[in-house]
Structure 1
Amino acid sequence: MTSVIIPEIKNALLNNDVPFPEENAICHAPHFLSGESVLCLGVFISVSAPHSETTKNSLDSSLRQLKCHFTWNLVEGENSLDDFEDRVCNLTEFQNSGFQATMCNILVYIKHCRGQQEAALGCLRQAEEFIQREHADQAEIRSLVTWGNYAWVYYHLGRFSEAQVSVDVKQVCQKYSSPYRIESPEMHCEEGWTRLRCGGNQNERAKVCFEKALEKKPNPEFSSGLAIASYRLDNWPPSQNPVDPLRQAIQLNPDNQYVKVLLALRLQKINKEGEGERSVKEALEKAPLATDVLCGAAKLYRRKGDLDQAIELPRKALKCMPNNTYLHCHIGCYYRAKVLEIQKMGGKREKLQELIGHALDHLKRADESNGNFFHICSCIACLSSQACRYEEAEYYFQKEFSKELPPVAKQVLHLRYCNFQLYQMKCQDKATHHFMTGVKINQESKEREKNVNRLQKFAKIKLSNNGADPKALHLLAFLQELNGEMQPAEKKSERVLDSGNLIPLASLGEE
C-alpha cells in the first residue's frame, strides 16, 4: 500500500504559496525544504504558515492520532526507564542488522523521555538511513512511523512551525475516517517488531499487530513476527499450538535462522529432540555469527545438559558484543551450572576453582552493568562462599537483601543465605531465623517447600538428640501453624528474559 498527496491538499498548499514537489511524491522536511512538517494520512509534508499563528494546542489532537512510538505507551508498567533501556539495548534477540531502523526509532523515544530531543533527531536521521538500506524499494511506506516520530520531536522542541497542520489541510484530511493516520500492513509490522523488541508486557500486542498485517497482506516477514510472538506467548501464558506458526514462518522465509532455533526449542519441549537439533545445526551453519541464533542454540544445549556447548556459543556472541549485560549473565549462570555438575561428579578442586572464577567474572560484570537482576548477587555470594571468600559472600548477600524483590525471589535469597550460615559459617541461630523468614513469605513455591523441609529435618535432628529440645518443639509448632496458609503456586515458565529482571533459570533451584 502506498500513499499519495491528494489534489485538495496540493491546492491548499499552493494557496499559501508553498513550493510543491512532483505529483504523487511523498515528501519529508529534511529532504524537501525547511518549514512546517505535517503528517496527513501518513504523508509527511513540509509547508510554511506565514499567515497564521502556530500554537502548541492546535497540534495536540492531530499528533495523538499518529501511529508511532510516542502513541504506543511502550514504557507503561515499566519499573524504570533505565530498566527499559537496558533491556531494549542489551537483549541479544534482534541485535542483527535487519532491525537497526527499528532500534533507532525506539532510541528516539528513550532520548525524548530523557529530555534529549536533539539526540532524538540524530537517531531519526540514522533510522532514515537504515530504512534506505534495508527497504530501498519500500522506503516511503516504511518511513511513516519515523516521520511520525519527527513530528513529535519537533513539537517537544517547540519548533511548532515544523509540525503544525494547517486548518485547510486538516479539513481535507477529515474527509477520511482517520485524520492524520494511515493503516497499512507495513506500519502494523513496524509496531509489532517494536513491541517484540521491548518485550515484557508488549508481546500480546505485538502478536495482534502481526495478525493485522497478515490480514491485509501475506508476507514472510509478517509471518516470522507472528511466529516469534506466538512462541513467546506459549511460554507465558500458554497458547494452543506454538509449533505450526513456526513451521509456516520457516516455509515462507527459510532464511530466517532465528525462527529455526525457536522451532528447535519448542520441539525439544515436546520430546522431538532429534528434529530440533537438526534445525539448530542448520541455523548455526547458515548464521554462525548471529547473536540471536547463538544464544537460542545455547539455551537448547543447556536444557540437553551439554554445558560445554551452552557456554561456548554465547562466548562467540560476546566477541561481537563484549559489554552485553545479558550475555555475561547467561554465561555466568551456565558456568555456575557447570560448577554444580563437577561437584556432583566429585571433580578435581583445581578445575572447580577455575570454573568458579569464570562464573564470578561474568556474573560480576553483569551486576556492575545492571544491579537490578533478581538473584544475581546471591549467585555471586554462593560462588564466593564455595571459594572460601566469606567476606565477599556476605557483602553480596547483603547487597541482595537491600533490593526490592518479589516474594519468590525473597524466598530464594533466604534459602541461599541460611544455607550459607548453616554450612559455611556454622551459625544455627541465623540459619534458623532465615529458614523461618523464607517460610513466612506466603507464596507457594519450590523454594518455600525447601525451606519447610530443611526446618523439619533440622527440628527432627535436634529432637533425636533431645526429645524435649525447646527450639525444635518451637519450630514444629511454627510449621504446624503455617500449614494450610500457603497461596497457590505461580505457574512456572521459561521466559526469554522478557521480565527484564530475572536471570536465566539455570541459576535457580539448585540448592
Structure 2
Amino acid sequence: MSTISKDSLKASLLQLECHFTWNLRKEDVGLEALEETILDHIKFVKECNITDYNILSYVCYLKNSNEEGLRNLQKAEEAIQKHHPDEIARRSLVTWGNYAWIYYHMQRYEEAQTYVSKVENSCKMLSSTAHGKIQLPEVYAVQGWALLRFGRKNYEKAMDCFANALKSEPDNPDFNAGYAIAMFRLDSFTERGCESMGPCLEALKRAVELNPNNTTLLALLALHLQRLKQGNEGERYIEEGLQKTPDFPVFLRYAASFYRKRGEVGKAVKILKKALALTPNSVIVHHQLGLCYKFKIIQLKKARYPPQEEVNNLLELAIFHLKTVIHKKPVFFCAYGDLGNVYALGKRYEEAEEIFQEVLQRNDVFWSDKQEICFSYANFQRFDMKSESKAIKYYIEGLKIENNSYRRKQCSEAVEKLLNQKISSGLGDATDFGTFGLVHKLNGKKQEAIECYEKAIALDPSNEEYLNALAELQLSISS
C-alpha cells in the first residue's frame, strides 16, 4: 500500500467509533485482571456477549495478541447474527471498526480498508452523516460499557454516553442499566449529601424495574439504600438476589460488601469464599476478603487479652489476599493503603512504611485513592509511629486534593484537632499557626486564615511564606 493511501486509511480509521478511538488506556487498568473479569462475565452471563467480546478483542490487541483479538471479534459477529439478525449492520459498526484497526496494526491494509468501507457504507445507509461518525444509541452504549471497564477516570464519560443513548430510547433496559451503574460508581467515591443521592436512587429503581432478572442491579440498589441509612429495605433486595442467582459471583461480591459494611463480617466471608471458588482470580473478591480479615483483626484487638494465634492467622490471610490484589492489578491503589494498615496492625512497621512509600511515590494515582492513602499514611504516622509532624504533613496532602469527599473532610478534622491541641496547650509556634492558616485557606475560610497568618508573623516577622500568603488573602478579600 502506498504511503498516501496508507495515510488516508489512517485518517479514515480515526473517524471510526470503536474501542481504538475512545481513549481507553491500559495504564488505567490491570490488563490481566481486566481480561479475567471479562472472561468471568462471559462465563456467568449467558445472554448476549457482543460488548464483552469487543472489549476482549481490544484487550488482546493491548497484549499484542492480534490473532486472538480477531477470534473474539468473530465471536462478537456470531452473537450479533444470533441475537440481532434483522439489525446486523447497525449492531456491527463497532465490531467492524475494531476489525479495521486490528488489521491495520497487523499491516494487513487491504482487509483494514475493507472494514472501513463496510462501516462507511453502513453509516451512509443508516444516516445522512458519512465517514463512520454516526450518533446511534447502541454505539453510545457500547462506548459506555467500555469506559466503565477502563477505570474510574472514565465513569463520568460513561454516564454521559448512556445519557445520550437514553435520549433516543428512554425505556431501553440495557441503557438504563448502564446509566444507573455509572451513576452508582460516581457516587461511590464522591461525598454527596443525601439530597443529591436521589437521582441515583431513582436511576437504580428504574433500571431494576426494566431489568427484573438482573441481580447486579438489585445489589447496587441495596448498597445505595444502605448509604441512605435504609439498610433494612436494602437487605430485602440482597435476599431476593440470593434466591434468584445464588451462584452468580458478581452479585455475591456485592452481597458480601453489603454485609461487611453492616458489620456481619462472618456472613460476608462465607459469601466471598463461595465467590472465590467460582472466580479464583477475581481481584475484587480477594480485596473484599482482605478487608473482612482486617475488620476481624481490629475487633479482636479490642479485647483486653486478644487471642494472639487467631490474630496472627487473620493477619496472614489479610496480607495474602491484599498482596494478591496488588500483584494481579498494580493499579488497584487503595489496596496498597489497606495492606499498609494490615502491616501496622501486626506491628510490622517497616513493611507498612515500604508499601505506603511505594504508592505515595507514584504519580498515576487517581485523586480519591490518593486522598485515601494520604489519610491512611497520616494515621499510621500519628498512631503507630507517634510522629505528629508527619501526620500533619500528610493530612494536608489529602486536604490539598480539593474534590469534595468524606476523606477530605476527615483529613481536615484530624489536622485541625492536632493543631488545636498544640496551640491550646501553649506549645504552638509560628509553624503551627502558619500551618493552621494553610488549612483554613484550603477550606476556603479566608478570615480565619488571615488571623492565623498574622499570629505566625508575630512570632516569625521575616517569614516570606507567611507574608506572601497573608498579602494574597488580603488582596482576594478586598478585590
Q: Report the TM-score range of the alignment, normalised by the length of the smaller protein.
A: 0.7 to 0.9
With over 3 angstroms needed to count, the CA separation of the structure-2 counterparts of 1:436 and 1:145, relative to structure 1, is: closer
Residue 332 of structure 1: CA displacement?
A: 0.2
Cα distance in 2 between the residues matched to 1:192 and 1:378: 29
Instruction: State the match for 1:450 in structure 2.
Output: 414
With over 3 angstroms needed to count, the CA separation of the structure-2 counterparts of 1:226 and 1:382, relative to structure 1, is: closer
- Between 1:404-413 and 1:281-290, the stretch displaced more is 404-413
Structure 2: which amino acid aligns with 1:331? L
Q: Report Cα offsets for 1:33-92 as digits up to 9, x if no partner.
A: xxxxxxxxxxxxxxxx9xx999212323433332211222223xxxx5363535644669
Cα distance in 2 between the residues matched to 1:172 and 1:312: 51
Say whether the 8 Å CA contact 1:375–1:413 is kept in structure 2: no
- Between 1:144-153 and 1:408-417, the stretch displaced more is 408-417
Please give the TM-score of this superposition, normalised by the length of structure 2: 0.74
Say whether the 8 Å CA contact 1:195–1:202 is kept in structure 2: yes
Tell me the SS of whatever aligns to 2:107. coil
Instruction: State the match for 2:61 in structure 1.
Output: 112
Please point out which of 318, 325, 349 is paired with 2:308.
349
Say whether the 8 Å CA contact 1:452–1:479 is kept in structure 2: no
Q: Which protein has greater RCO, CA pairs closer than 8 Å, 6+ apart?
A: 1
Cα distance in 1 between the residues matched to 2:100 and 2:74: 13
Cα distance in 2 between the residues matched to 1:203 and 1:385: 33
Instruction: State the match for 1:298 in structure 2.
Output: 256
Structure 2: which amino acid aligns with 1:56? K
Say whether the 8 Å CA contact 1:90–1:326 is kept in structure 2: no
Please point out which of 383, 397, 422 is paired with 1:419.
383
Instruction: State the match for 1:333 in structure 2.
Output: 291
Cα distance in 2 between the residues matched to 1:133 and 1:179: 27
Cα distance in 1 between the residues matched to 2:88 and 2:277: 32
Matches within 5 A, 1:336-485: 336-346=294-304, 347-389=306-348, 392-393=351-352, 395-400=354-359, 402-404=361-363, 406=370, 409-422=373-386, 431-438=387-394, 441=397, 443=400, 445-447=409-411, 449-450=413-414, 453=417, 473=427, 476-485=429-438
Q: Report Cα offsets for 1:119-162 as digits up to 9, x if no partner.
A: 43233223334445665675554333111111122222222222
Tell me the SS of whatever aligns to 2:286. helix
CA RMSD of superposed structures (Å)? 3.8
Residue 448 of structure 1: CA displacement?
A: 5.4
Instruction: State the match for 1:214 in structure 2.
Output: 166
Instruction: State the match for 2:459 in structure 1.
Output: none
Structure 2: which amino acid aligns with 1:415? N
List alignment gaps of at least 5 residues for structure 1: 1-48, 423-430, 464-471, 491-511
Tell me the SS of whatever aligns to 1:322. coil
Say whether the 8 Å CA contact 1:84–1:198 is kept in structure 2: no
Please point out which of 160, 164, 178 is paired with 1:225.
178
Structure 2: which amino acid aligns with 1:363? L
Instruction: State the match for 2:70 in structure 1.
Output: 121
Residue 281 of structure 1: CA displacement?
A: 0.5
Residue 283 of structure 1: CA displacement?
A: 0.8
Structure 1: which amino acid aligns with 2:76? A
Structure 1: which amino acid aligns with 2:172? N
Residue 172 of structure 1: CA displacement?
A: 11
Instruction: State the match for 1:201 in structure 2.
Output: 153
Aligned residues: 417
Instruction: State the match for 2:229 in structure 1.
Output: 271
Cα distance in 1 between the residues matched to 2:3 and 2:376: 61
Q: Greater CA radius of gyration, 1 or 2?
A: 1
Instruction: State the match for 1:151 in structure 2.
Output: 100
Residue 416 of structure 1: CA displacement?
A: 0.7
Please give the TM-score of this superposition, normalised by the length of structure 1: 0.69
Cα distance in 2 between the residues matched to 1:155 and 1:319: 40
Say whether the 8 Å CA contact 1:411–1:448 is kept in structure 2: no
Residue 254 of structure 1: CA displacement?
A: 0.9
Cα distance in 1 between the residues matched to 2:16 and 2:358: 44
Residue 100 of structure 1: CA displacement?
A: 4.0
With over 3 angstroms needed to count, the CA separation of the structure-2 counterparts of 1:353 and 1:385, relative to structure 1, is: same
Say whether the 8 Å CA contact 1:360–1:380 is kept in structure 2: yes
Instruction: State the match for 1:244 in structure 2.
Output: 202
Please point out which of 194, 201, 215 is paired with 1:257.
215
Residue 108 of structure 1: CA displacement?
A: 2.5
Instruction: State the match for 1:58 in structure 2.
Output: 8
List alignment gaps of at least 5 residues for structure 2: 401-407, 445-479
Structure 2: which amino acid aligns with 1:438? Y
Structure 2: which amino acid aligns with 1:202? N
Cα distance in 1 between the residues matched to 2:135 and 2:28: 32
Please point out which of 74, 79, 87 is paired with 2:24.
74
Cα distance in 2 between the residues matched to 1:480 and 1:331: 43
Cα distance in 2 between the residues matched to 1:382 and 1:314: 21
Q: Report Cα offsets for 1:378-408 as digits up to 9, x if no partner.
A: 5434434544545544544554555446355
Residue 278 of structure 1: CA displacement?
A: 0.8
Say whether the 8 Å CA contact 1:332–1:362 is kept in structure 2: yes
Cα distance in 1 between the residues matched to 2:122 and 2:286: 55
Tell me the SS of whatever aligns to 2:153. helix
With over 3 angstroms needed to count, the CA separation of the structure-2 counterparts of 1:401 and 1:287, relative to structure 1, is: same
The sequence identity of aligned pairs, in percent, is 32
- Between 1:355-364 and 1:373-382, the stretch displaced more is 373-382
Say whether the 8 Å CA contact 2:159–2:182 is kept in structure 1: yes
- Between 1:173-182 and 1:288-297, the stretch displaced more is 173-182
Cα distance in 2 between the residues matched to 1:239 and 1:388: 39
- Between 1:433-442 and 1:312-321, the stretch displaced more is 433-442
Cα distance in 2 between the residues matched to 1:392 and 1:277: 38
Cα distance in 1 between the residues matched to 2:341 and 2:187: 33
Structure 2: which amino acid aligns with 1:143? S
Say whether the 8 Å CA contact 1:58–1:164 is kept in structure 2: no
Structure 2: which amino acid aligns with 1:62? S
